[in-house]
């Protein structure tokens, strides 16, 4: 297609990759040319395109709608999955009669502290092992060994070391969430283009400034991906540690419900975990969008 025809054809025709059809009449000139109508040749978009507003919520909302519809029509029998409104009612009972708020805050506190511990440890270790060969030889091996031992299998040992209280729970969650932070941050750090380190060397910057202005921002995409995994890991750890001698927490509530056969209360716990995880992930992604605004990627 010549430039001439590409410029004068309307968008619908101009978009086609083929030749102009033989019967395409003469393009009208005069009025159309002088108007400020926007005619352009636009390529077919291969990336995901522009962002939808509130896109994060569409999927979960549809899921909830399907669940409600299934329960109303009887496709999902209460024996298989409690209806949403019954879960809501069970939740309200837990709230008023069994102090659900206390369970939620206890769980959030445990997972929050554990996650903070894991994120701090994972980041520091990733930087130490990423920027120094000595650090790498000391840190990387043990982390890989630790990775291949399921943390949950270590709980009996932790109980022996830290007792059965809060400490053991937080350490376990911290260890579980440290791994994805370490692996992803380390990987992203090592993928930073060496030419930026060279630039920093020619500018005579200190190691601290190098870490702050080059290493951390450069490894941030990997760190945030690790954080998304770490959030999920922290919740996973939470479910398990709250089975051990807990007096509160969502996991404790579910363990009790299991003993009494209260399926609806178990679903309340599941929904809570789902909501926690989804909100945390959404939060990380919003942060990601804010701090990685400089990127020109498909994320947009």
CB of 183 to another protein, least distance (A): 17
CB of 74 to another protein, least distance (A): 55
Least distance CB 196 / another protein (angstroms): 6
Give the C-alpha distances (Å, rounded to integers) separating 17 from 12, 120, 272, 275. Answer: 11, 53, 51, 47
Is the Cβ–Cβ distance between 119 and 181 less than 8 Å? yes
The residues of the shown chain that bind another protein, judged by CB under 8 A, are 130-133, 136, 194-205, 207, 209-210, 213-214, 217-218, 220, 293-296
Considering beta carbons, is residue 19 or 198 the nearer one to another protein?
198
Q: Which is nearer to another protein, 33 or 201 (CB)?
A: 201
* 84 vs 217 by CB, closer to another protein: 217
Rounded to the nearest whole angstrom, what is the least distance from the CB of residue 137 to another protein in the complex?
Answer: 11
Instruction: Give Cβ neighbours of residue 1 (< 8 Å, ≥ 6 apart).
Output: 14, 19, 20
Measured in Å, how far apart are the chain's first and last C-alpha atoms?
Answer: 31
Torsion of CA 249, 147, 119, 284, to 10 degrees: -80
Tell the smallest beta-carbon distance from residue 224 to another protein (Å).
13
Residue with tokens 């992930």, as numbered in its chain: 281
- Residue whose CB is less far from another protein, 78 or 141: 141
Number of neighbouring beta carbons within 10 Å of residue 250: 28
To the nearest whole angstrom, how small is the minimum distance from the Cβ of residue 136 to another protein? 8
Contact between residue 228 and residue 214 where contact means Cβ atoms under 8 Å apart: no
Nearer Cβ to another protein (178/220): 220
Euclidean distance between CA atoms 24 and 155, whole angstroms: 75
Q: Which is nearer to another protein, 137 or 245 (CB)?
A: 137
Give, in order, the Cα–Cα distances in Å from 239 to each of 165, 235, 277: 15, 6, 12
């Amino acid at each position: 297609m010549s430039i001439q025809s590409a410029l004068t054809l309307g968008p619908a025709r101009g978009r086609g990759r083929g030749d102009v059809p033989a019967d395409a009449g003469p393009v009208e000139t005069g009025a159309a040319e002088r108007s400020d109508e926007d005619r352009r040749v636009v390529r077919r978009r291969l990336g995901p395109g522009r962002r939808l507003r509130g896109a994060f919520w569409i999927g979960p909302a549809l899921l909830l709608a399907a669940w409600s519809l299934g329960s109303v029509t009887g496709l999902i029998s209460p024996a298989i999955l409690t209806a949403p409104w019954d879960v809501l009612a069970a939740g309200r009972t837990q709230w008023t009669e069994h102090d659900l708020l206390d369970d939620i805050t206890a769980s959030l506190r445990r997972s929050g502290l554990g996650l903070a511990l894991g994120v701090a440890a994972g980041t520091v270790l990733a930087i130490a092992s990423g920027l120094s060969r000595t650090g790498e030889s000391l840190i990387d091996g043990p982390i890989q060994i630790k990775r291949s031992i399921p943390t949950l299998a270590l709980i009996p040992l932790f109980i022996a070391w830290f007792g059965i209280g809060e400490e053991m729970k937080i350490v376990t969650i911290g260890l579980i969430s440290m791994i994805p932070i370490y692996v992803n941050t380390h990987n992203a750090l090592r993928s930073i283009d060496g030419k930026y380190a060279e630039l920093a060397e020619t500018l005579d910057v200190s190691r601290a400034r190098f870490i702050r202005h080059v290493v951390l921002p450069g490894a941030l995409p990997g760190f945030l991906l690790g954080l998304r995994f770490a959030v999920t890991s922290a919740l996973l750890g939470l479910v398990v540690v709250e089975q051990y001698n807990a007096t509160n927490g969502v996991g404790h509530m579910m363990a009790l419900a299991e003993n009494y056969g209260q399926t609806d209360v178990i679903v309340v716990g599941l929904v809570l975990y789902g909501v926690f995880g989804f909100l945390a992930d959404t939060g990380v992604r919003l942060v990601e969008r804010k701090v990685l605004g400089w990127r020109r990627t498909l994320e947009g």
